[in-house]
Amino acid sequence: MTRIGRSLLAGALLSLVTVLPATAAQADPTLCLRGHVADGAWQAWTCEAGTSWASAGAEGAELDAVQFKATGTGGSTCVTGRVEGEGQLPAVCTADGQVGTLGAYKKLGSIGIGNSAHRTCARGYSTDAGWQSSQCAEGGYTVQIVAGAYKALGVVTANLS
């Protein structure tokens, strides 16, 4: 191989080495949620995309369980909550790509959600209080959404950034 050929080959390999990791590092984290409402069934999964948020539940309903799954975070996602008649539940934590379930098929009065590596934002809706303003927590912390004393959340929405 000529000197020019070796230089071109080396340059092409160097380009591949520098481009591939940069592309892989640009993957955005994704959070998916689905809810189980009282006297209902599991809803379809919704996932955040761009500026949209993942959501679980329905306005006018009482949320009694939540399933969650995150991908592309490089960390773990944890969800905790307060359930009618049982109090605060221990956190359920999952690695990327795994599904976690929180709830006991009783009213969820609060939900906390967080990711170890990414900022998490969430907001909730209850029939008595309406939509709450969104709250955010940095990576490693949990943002807590509360329906109010003896109330049930109807909807929870969240995203990772």
| pLDDT tens, position by position, 32-89 | 999 999 888 899 999 997 778 999 999 989 999 999 999 999 999 999 999 888 899 9
CB distance 65 to 56 below 8 Å: no
Is position 63 within any domain? yes
pLDDT value of position 17: 30
In terms of residue numbers, what domain contains 54?
30-160
In b/e form, how buried is each residue of 8-19, taking b as 16+ CB within 10 angstroms? eeeeeeeeeeee
Using an 8 Å Cβ cutoff, are 65 and 38 in contact?
A: no
Please count the structural domains in the chain.
1
Residue 65 in domain: yes
**Length of the chain, please?**
161
123: in domain: yes
4 is a domain residue: no
Entry pTM: 0.79
19 within some domain? no
